[in-house]
Structure 1
Amino acid sequence: MKKILVPVDFSPAAENAANYATDLAYNIGARIELFNVFQVPVVSPVAASMVWPYQEYSQMEDDAKKALEKLLHKVEKKYEAAYQDYSLKPEVYARSVRGEVDDEVYKYFTECKMNLVVMGLNSASKFSKILIGSNARKMIEREIPLLLIPTGYQFRKPKKIAFATDFSHSDIPVLCALAEFAKPFNADILIMHTGNSTSDPAVYKETMEGFLNRVADRVNYRNIYHRHVNSKRVKDGLDWIVENGQIDMLAMVHRKHGFFYRLFNGSYTLNMSDHIQIPLLVLPPEHRIPM
């Protein structure tokens, strides 16, 4: 059975992500694990000599565990009431550990052979700013499959998933994995490339056709289409496809020094559009793990 890991900090964004993940699990036949990482409070350098009171620390940890159990019960009850066939309700588990969020999530994901991390974003209207200083940014750098859910976004079966590519050969196995994710929903996969195709149209056509031929040979899925978005800037092209492409999810590969890396680490980040309000699926290069 596939396994989805949901890091939770008991914020509305995390609870919404847990709800989304459970709906997703119901549709693809997966189990859910709510995962809370209890972080030791940071002591400022000025107060470095101070010792955090053990009793207060212990109480905070106990409160976190109780909150996790409460969230687990809430999720279970909600879906027990929602689905008439109780046997189809996703299995939901809860774990709590100490440490840093990205370290512990990555460790648990790899050791327990999870398939996907579903994580909430604090605010879809401030997407780029949230990623700059959040655990989501750190998780992206860990290069594990990560589905980011904007606050308030309610689950709906994806009908069209846009996959942004630069025609890299290593995107082919990623598309194979994405196709397995799309199959239960019979969703279309829209392969999109954003750039200026008029600068050297012959070279662009050869590159595009070579990539699409490899997709046809390697990816066992019929509902795959291609669309070019003519734009000098990657960000503008992504904005356009999100606004006008009628897509339910945007999937991208986090390849260091690729266009996605530049988007989230360079000047594009600060200017990221405020209107991205759909789930963002971030995949590592040459990803092959079924989602």
Structure 2
Amino acid sequence: MKKILVPVDFSATAENAADYATDLAHGIGARVELLNVFQVPEFSPAAASLVWPLEEYNLIEDDAKKALEKLVERVEEKYKKAHHELGFKAEVFGRSVGGEVEQEVSKYFTECKMNLVVAGLNRADKLTKTLMGSVARKIIEEEIPVLLIPAGYRFKKPKKIAFATDFSHSDIPVLCALAEFAKPFSADILIMHTENSRSDSADSRQKTEDFLNRVADRVNYRHIYHRHVNSEGIKEGLNWIVKNGQIDILAMVHRKHSFFYRLLNGSHTLNMSDHIQIPLLALPPEHKIPM
């Protein structure tokens, strides 16, 4: 059985992501595991050299475990109410650990052989101009597949998934994994590439054709098609497809020196939490784990 990992901090956004994950799990035949990573507070740099009292640590751990148990109960109850099949059993589990969120999420994902992380995405405030907030960004940097759910976004069966590509050959195995994710829903996969009209050359057209031929040869899924988006920049092209493409999920590969990497780190950082109001699926290069 597939397994979905949901990092939770007991916020409304995290609980909404957990609710989304349970509905997604029902569609793909998966179980959901909620992971709370609690942190021991540090009052000053000097405090780092001190040993935190065991009693205080235990209190923090106990409070986190109690809160997690209540969250699991709420999520499980909503899950059961949403699905009335005979003999249906909601498989929702919880675990609480101490440490740094991104490190513990990555460790849990690997050791417990998870298939996908589903995390809540808070809208950035005026002072925060990072792509999707520090925690989500750090999890993406761990090179594990992460589906980011905007605050308040409710699950709906995905009918169309846009996959943004620069036609790198390493995107082919990623498309194979994405196809397995889309199959239970019979969702269309829209391969999209954004370029301005000045880049339309014979070499560019040949690169597109070569990539699509490889897709046809390697990806065993018939609901795939391609669309070129003519725009002055990547940011504008992504915004256009999200607004006009009638898509339910935007999937992108987080590869260093790719256009997604430039969005994260370049001078024209795209604040996705301001622009994207649909789930964003960030995938590591050459990702092959079934989702």
Once residues 126 and 22 of structure 1 are traced to their aligned partners in structure 2, the CA distance between those partners, rounded to angstroms, is 32
Unaligned runs of 5+ in 1: none
Give 1:230 shift: 1.0
Q: 1:49 to 1:191 in 2, by over 3 A?
A: closer
SS at match of 1:285: coil
Q: Deviations over 1:208-259 (max 9, x none)?
A: 0110011011111111111111122111110110011110000000001110
Aligned partners of 1:5 and 1:32 also within 8 Å = yes
Counterpart in the other structure of 2:21: 21
SS of residue matched to 1:149:
strand
State the alpha-carbon separation in 1 of the partners of residues 19 and 132 from structure 2. 25
Q: Corresponding residue for 1:180?
A: 180
Distance of 2:86 and 2:21 partners within structure 1: 17
**One-letter amino acid matched to 2:147:** L
Moved more, 62-71 or 130-139: 130-139
TM-score (norm. length: structure 2): 0.94
Q: How big is the alpha-carbon RMSD for the aligned residues of Structure 1 and Structure 2?
A: 2.1
**Quick one: distance in 2 between partners of 1:221 and 1:151?**
31
Q: Between 131-140 and 47-56, report the one with greater CA deviation.
A: 47-56
Residue aligning to 2:6 = 6
- How many residue pairs get matched? 291
Deviation at 1:4, TM superposition (A): 0.4
The share of aligned pairs that are identical, in percent, is 75
Residue 156 of structure 2 is aligned to residue 156 of structure 1: yes
Deviations 1:168-222 (A, max 9, x none): 0000010000000001111100000011243342111101011001101111111
Change (3 A) 1:136 1:212: same
Flag structure 2 segments of 5+ consecutive residues without an equivalent. none
- With normalisation by structure 1, the TM-score equals 0.94
Counterparts of 2:128 and 2:215, CA distance in 1: 31
Deviation digits for residues 148-187 of structure 1 (CA, Å, limit 9, x no counterpart): 0000000000111000000000000100000000011111
Runs of 4 or more off by more than 6 Å in structure 1? 124-128
Distance 1:210 1:48, change over 3 A: closer
